[in-house]
Each structure stands twice: as C-alpha cells, then as structure tokens.
Copies of this chain bind each other. A is one copy, B any other.
C-alpha cells in the first residue's frame, strides 16, 4: 500500500531543505571534468531520445537525495497504483487511464463493466477502419467526392494537444508522402475563429470532428452550429460532413446527425487525451492510422521507462524531481520549454496546459491547503526564434528561469542548404548547444552591459529526428513528469476545479443575473 503525504512531511525533503546546497554550474562544467559530466549526466529515454541534465544544478549528493525522495514518496508504487486502476483522481473519484490507450503496463483494468484496454483498442480500430475508408474514397461527401481536409472542433484538451501533435508531424508526413488530409482546428468561442477557418477551407470536401465528452461544452456546440450553418448555406447536408468523439452516453452518440461516433470516457482528462480517440480521429484522418499507431508505440515505450523504480533509469521521474528541486529548494517560479524544432511550435502551449492545469493547485489530494509552492508557470517558443526575443531576459534579467531545451540531429524535411560551410540544421543544433553553455557559464566582461552572470540551469532532450515514435515518447515523457511532480506535491493532478467559477459567472452574466461590479463590467460590454 502506498501512503499519500505532503512534501514537507518527508524526511528526505526536510534534509534537502536544511542543506540548500548550491551547485556552481560554471565550475562543474569547466575543463575535462565538465566534458565528462556532459557524457555522464545523461539518461536514455524511449525511441532513441536522451535526457541530458549536465547543466542542471545537481551533483552526486543531490541526485542521491532526490533518489531518496523518490523512494520515500513511493513514486514508482504510486504510478503502479495508477496504471493498475486505483482511484487516483480523488476529487472526481475516477481512475486515470490515459496510459492504457498505448499499452497495458500492469493488471487488466475494468470499469463500467468493460476491460478498458479493450475499450480503447476497439475505438482505435473503429477509427482506423473509418479513416481507411475515407482515404480509399469509400466514405465521401454528398456529391460522391473524396474529403481532403479534416477540421477538429474542440477546446482545451480537445484542441491544444491534437493541434500540437498535428503540427509536429505535418512536415514529416509531407516529407514522407503520408499526409492524407490537411487538418485545421476551431476552438475559440470567438466567432472570428470559426469564420476564418471556414473562409479558408474548401468545406464541400471537409470532414468535421466534433469533440465533446459530455456533448454539452458550450464553446464546442456553439462552433458546431456555426459550422452547420455554413454547410447548410453552401447547400451541403451537415450529416454528411461530421463525426463525433464523445462519451457513449452523450446525446452525440448514436445520432443520425453524424457519419459516425467514436468514444472517450471519464478516465482520461482532456489534457491527457492526445493518445485517445480525441487525438486519434483527427490524427488518423490526417496521417493515416499507421502513423497514429507508431505515435502510440512511442508513448508506450516512454511509459515502460516511467515504471522503473531506479531513478537513474527513469528519465520522467528524474526530470520531475529536478523540477521540484528547482521549484521548492532553489525557489524558481517558472520554467521555459524551448524546442529547437519549428514542428514543435505549439508543443510548449500544450505543455503549458498539461502542466499548469494539472499541478497549479494549492490544496493536496485530500483537499487540505499545502504549505509549499506547487506547479510553476510554464511558457515557451521554438528556438532559434526565441533567441531573438525573450532570451534577453533569460540571460540578463533579474530572475532565473530554469530551461528545458529539446533538439534533434536531423530535420524532418531532410533537404537543406549549405551557407558559410554548414547546413541550416547544423546551425540550429550549434545554437542550442551554444545556449546551454551561455546560460550555464555566462561571460565575464568589464562592460556590465555585456556581462553574463551564468548560473542559469537547463536540461536538454536530444533525439535523432522528430518522428511519430519520438513524438509519442516525448509527449508521454512530459505527461509522466507532470504525474510524478503531482505525486511529490501530493496533489490530485487530474481534476480542474479552478476552471469552474468562471463558467458559473459567465452563465450568470448571459442570464443578466448580476449586480455590483459584475453588472458594471457587463454594462461596459453592453451585455
């Protein structure tokens, strides 16, 4: 049995807090010892990726303490509870099953009278069959013509994850000739979002994926109406153009208004749903079911590593603990995710959701306030773009922001140009390498304007190429990292009560049931 305790009650944590040991990055990265450290402070990840933490403020002592913390907090045991079907989402009294979409790590898990692994696999098979028929021209529009574009209608987890994954593989798919359909996304209740997508899409040849677990999400249903309206005005029958991803009990299931419906359940939160039918439908239509399956395989390999009890063989757990060390011991309030890959342009936005929505909480899993800081702010943009932008503050600002770099040896497209003796891809890699050292070691200068204090920690995940497999591995790595941090902080990472109050008040505003400041603000918007 595992026991759930607050971080500040753990002996291993108290010990670290007392010591507050500081590692001088410039010192540990200097000379031959520094080169050796770069080779040694590196843990293999799934699918050929590696997590290098040589430029993080840890040493052998601290790593030992973190291993003790991992053990005392029973992180591996808690993950085992989770994948064996315990009610980890205590607030909503639910199992947490996103790992089951990509593999069976432990015992069979039954819920709602069904083996859940079988349930997820069945949905994948149904989606694959549907997508194959669309690609083969067996499912066509009202005029008998093939569909060329898929448009996802969803918000939050039904949008950010699938969108980030699509963008991550679009160029790879074009390079490999497996782009079956272009994908687009409508999310915001702002009517300008849907209007712009519809105005730039050949809707006669578009298939729309409506994603709503309950079938009642206001933004999503509003956008569905917007789309149906546009289809009807174009003389098209919406029922020929829409599928639903929803729960089996929702009004969208078994509904003649949709070509078909694929099912999700209560055990996978929106932000963890890229590997469920929520990501599966749009990604299988865009890239083909085989590519989606490869993506799932990559995620499954990461999950296997995350089940490892040995911290130094569990990169997600290690990444998580170094993050906790930076947040709670070193006191840094934010984290930047900086992929040196344009394909990962929206990956930081997805992680921003996954991380901040999971661990941005002030009460523990039993609803008791905690006395320590929890999830950090998370933001990021791809390098090298960020270098010409907010890196100024990261290098020379008054606060230190720990960094998470991601880089690949090869581009997705493969074709490249040589300028000044190197390809673009080599320049990209040279830049990320340079940044690690610049942040960590800084530079002395008599001119204070050109002085870099250094001491700014970073890690880097290095891969050969961003492929369906390595993308799946990367995604699952971060999901598992967030899960482990939630365990350490003793949070329920799988509910999101903080989004409810705004919904309630917005309904009140629309119903004109307001007074005081709420009414005064409503008046400013003429509501």
Contact = CB atoms under 8 A, between A and B. Distances in A.
Interface stretch (A13-21, A216-224, A237-245, A477-485): A216-224
A155 B385 contact: yes
B396 A498 contact: yes
Nearest to A381: B349
Interface string A25-55: 0000111101111110010000000101011
B392 A424 contact: no
Given A195-B171, A363-B448, A521 B436 contact: yes
Nearest to A426: B527
Nearest to A30: B516
A164 B195 CA distance: 18
Given A222-B424, A398-B362, A30 B498 contact: no
A191 B412 CA distance: 8
Interface string A387-416: 111111111111101000001010111011
Interface in A349-391: 349, 352-353, 356-363, 367-370, 372-375, 377-379, 381-385, 387-391
Please list the 5 inter-chain residue pairs (A to B) with the smallest Cβ-Cβ separation, ordered nearest first: A360-B393, A156-B388, A434-B505, A38-B520, A353-B389
A270 interface: yes
A201 to B, nearest CB: 13
Contacts of A352: 379, 381, 389-390
A462 B524 contact: yes
Interface stretch (A109-117, A282-290, A506-514): A506-514
A154 to B, nearest CB: 9
A360 B189 contact: no
B388 A155 contact: yes
A342 B190 contact: yes
A506 B430 contact: yes
A506 B431 contact: yes
Nearest to A398: B373
A488 to B, nearest CB: 14
A520 B390 contact: no
A360 B420 contact: no
A447 B223 CA distance: 33
A510 B427 contact: yes
Interface in A171-216: 171, 174-175, 187-196, 199
A222 to B, nearest CB: 5
B342 A193 contact: yes
Contact of A385 (B52, B156, B271): B156
Interface string A155-170: 1110110000000001
25 contacts: A52-B524, A55-B517, A91-B449, A155-B385, A155-B388, A171-B199, A189-B427, A189-B431, A191-B411, A195-B411, A218-B427, A219-B427, A223-B424, A225-B417, A352-B381, A352-B390, A357-B389, A358-B392, A359-B393, A370-B398, A391-B502, A430-B510, A433-B522, A443-B501, A462-B525
A333 B175 CA distance: 42
A199 B385 CA distance: 21
Given A188-B384, A377-B393, A434-B504, 9 more contacts: A35-B515, A156-B389, A188-B428, A191-B424, A352-B390, A362-B398, A367-B449, A377-B377, A396-B498
A29 B419 CA distance: 60
A453 B432 CA distance: 41
A171 to B, nearest CB: 5
A396 B360 contact: yes
Contacts of A407: 525
Interface string A430-462: 111111111011110001111111000000101
B190 A517 contact: no
A435 to B, nearest CB: 5
B342 A192 contact: yes
B334 A377 contact: yes
Contacts of A449: 91, 363, 367, 492, 495, 497
Contact of A500 (B383, B450, B501): B450
A152 to B, nearest CB: 13
A5 interface: no
Nearest to A35: B520
A95 interface: no
Contacts of A231: none
A35 B401 contact: no
